[in-house]
A and B are shown apart, each in its own frame.
Chain A
């Protein structure tokens, strides 16, 4: 397997995302598969950030620690990241930004000094094109020629006019040539076989794409990292698909606007992160009581409070499941990768409408901001199920919004679509929707609503498995640890340990199928990104079960295979 890790480090605002984006598009064009993750601070300028791309000749699901190519746009990249470079790895640095100590450090390695911005200027181009110089320099280590890189630059800068495109291509060529000249003929990875068209997306692209495919018509949100990408995506692309995205004054308004829209009969959503989700919880309870479908994306970041705003954690699981005050039916989904994010998001709208309830889709910064190569999404796989809806004629003039039915689902009528009136309320109500106080109706209405929860549980998404079926060791997780677990399982199997990965795309209600898996004789470990073991608690309370051990991370950084395997108890990882 060909496998190459490129890390671009620099200050916020220096252009590392531009360099990373150019490279990941060009590499995909050339036929590579990739996984790219981002590590950034909660600031607009300065600090130290990185953009890391793993290229491979087959699909990859997570990141690796050892770096083949380090690109240093600032001094901290040299002082902090140098030790991650593999023996024989290459360091490309800008000598103009290094102090004498860092310069000395950089020169000790297999390194190339390229003054990116200065080179651009010397070629008569603006400093900002130093980014293309850096991209060209890295490209020289990947590819025999500049075709794909030039094509990518042409596409990315097409709206800025031919002069900008040509300028970028010119300086990228210069960076490319300079590295060739300095390193001489050096073995380069073979060109991967072109696997045909693919998408390179972040979770923050796949989730809104899934929503568009599901026919979302209304979104309202308040910006909050790391969920803002979802909101901006719908703002940018939704208009063409006739989707309204209204920025709200706060998260409370955001979810209530979406609920108002949903009541009238359109698919509606909002997106937020921990603190914003907290503000939305009151309205989730309203949606539960009034039986109004709503989909909420919560892109988790480490709490408590503002925590680490730009980093990753899975610490909102318990909160998302608890959701709000009072008992009402709900579902919580936890996509593990970009492809799953797309299809699960569409599924979330079906669940919300079929059961007329709130559905939370848990993402996190690692899923939100990480790029993965995926096959083009298949819209024919996106089935739209709008649940029980009656026409005005079917509803008649005496329509009852909360009619008692065998399965607890009362057919919806969209207000204004018939003679019948649609009365919805968060206060306890009768079949009409009007307010009541009596014990008997309250009990019946509660039982009607909660009957739906049973159906949601019966139809819960089954665990997604990978690795050995006759496993001696099992790793169980949810959400963005999916790729890390899959690669840990692969690593263990290659070492002769029969391992299986269990990923839970639905964390509430948990699927019945999980219980069967838990009865397997394998030693079981729960892998999750939080301190208290929230998934463990959820599974333990549902199935009266305890794992053999747990692997948790709560330093704000994402897991990968090495992190998991290194933490399995001694003896497990012999060989």
Chain B
């Protein structure tokens, strides 16, 4: 795909009606809206149906391993900060296989956007329980129903003092595009957990299910997104009403800033200065 505007590919390996279509279209809209060019953007993804998204939109792509999206994206961003780095993955990818990386990416506060396609089920392997599946959900690996407590990515992120924590909904492209833009403009690690109906394997958390429940926190009068306690309380609201929007946003030092003395320009644009190596070698010289 050429480098002019963000084109969304018509041919995909996704099921008709998949929530992923809403996500990729919202992403293109957000990037176009920010005036970015495809060659300035790097999508890093893992494996799963979400991991295929970068192949369906113009930009640079690093399609890695299941669960390994965040460390790979971290390395890429540190090496070339000029790139707008967008990590893309699913809930199995990010919260199960990549759970440890999720915790530490938040701690690092690397300046990337992380979009999680949260369909509460494993799609690509055909419908097994994910860490986000509701209790009681019957799947191929949980014939008696899911018995583990669902993982709460937002509460976890807020607990770890993530600097940008949001939820959006694949059925509301306007909201999602707006949220993605805010995440990209945020200095630091920005999590967007996207409620994404899986039309094939999740018969509980459907479009209708979410349409009836979601409400926009961004429109709530008096909601203070810098109030960590309030954000944490909202992150547990999951029933008749499910909040979307930016739950929590603060400024704290980013990983890139920690390396500011090194990153006078992007690493990839720095030439090797052999005199510094000579200097280090000289310190080991004896006699």
Q: List residues of chain A with CB under 8 Å of any chain B CB.
A: 25, 28-29, 31, 194-201, 205, 209, 212-213, 215, 217-218, 220, 237, 239-244, 246, 248-250, 252-254, 256-266, 268, 282-283, 286, 290, 376-377, 379, 384, 397-398, 414-416, 418-427, 433-435
State whether B39 touches A421 (Cβ < 8 A): yes
A interface: dominant SS:
mixed
Q: Distance (Å) between the CB of A422 and the closest chain B CB?
A: 5
State whether B63 touches A260 (Cβ < 8 A): no
In this complex, how many residues of chain B approach chain A with their Cβ under 8 Å: the count is 61
State whether B63 touches A425 (Cβ < 8 A): yes
In the complex, B144 has a CB within 8 A of chain A? no
Q: Distance (Å) between the CB of B31 and the closest chain A CB?
A: 13
State whether A266 touches B268 (Cβ < 8 A): yes
Minimal Cβ-Cβ distance residue in B for A241:
B276
Contact with A along B157-188 (1 / 0, CB 8 A): 00000000000000000000000000000000
Candidates A200, A244, A260; contact of B73 at CB < 8 Å: A260
State whether A416 touches B61 (Cβ < 8 A): no
Minimal Cβ-Cβ distance residue in B for A208:
B280
Contact with A along B40-76 (1 / 0, CB 8 A): 1010100100001011001111111100101111111
**Top-10 shortest CB links A-B:** A260-B75, A257-B75, A215-B272, A261-B79, A260-B72, A253-B71, A261-B75, A260-B76, A425-B63, A415-B60
Which listed segment binds A: B97-105, B193-201, B211-219? B97-105
Given contacts A244-B259, A266-B268, A397-B3, contact A200 B286 (CB under 8 A): yes
State whether B83 touches A264 (Cβ < 8 A): yes
Instruction: State A563–B219 Cα separation when bound (angstroms).
Output: 78
Instruction: State A415–B42 Cα separation when bound (angstroms).
Output: 8
Given contacts A215-B272, A253-B104, contact A416 B285 (CB under 8 A): no
Minimal Cβ-Cβ distance residue in A for B286:
A28
Candidates B54, B267, B284; contact of A199 at CB < 8 Å: B284
State whether B83 touches A376 (Cβ < 8 A): no
Candidates B264, B277, B284; contact of A379 at CB < 8 Å: B277
State whether B38 touches A426 (Cβ < 8 A): no
List, in ascending order, chain A residues with CB within 8 A of B272's CB.
215, 384
Minimal Cβ-Cβ distance residue in A for B70:
A253
List, in ascending order, chain B residues with CB within 8 A of A379's CB.
274, 277-278, 281
**What are 5 A-B pairs at a CB distance below 8 A?**
A253-B68, A253-B70, A260-B75, A261-B78, A286-B65
State whether A239 touches B261 (Cβ < 8 A): yes
Instruction: State A259–B55 Cα separation when bound (angstroms).
Output: 19
State whether A265 touches B61 (Cβ < 8 A): no
State whether A242 touches B262 (Cβ < 8 A): yes
State whether B60 touches A423 (Cβ < 8 A): yes
Minimal Cβ-Cβ distance residue in A for B52:
A435
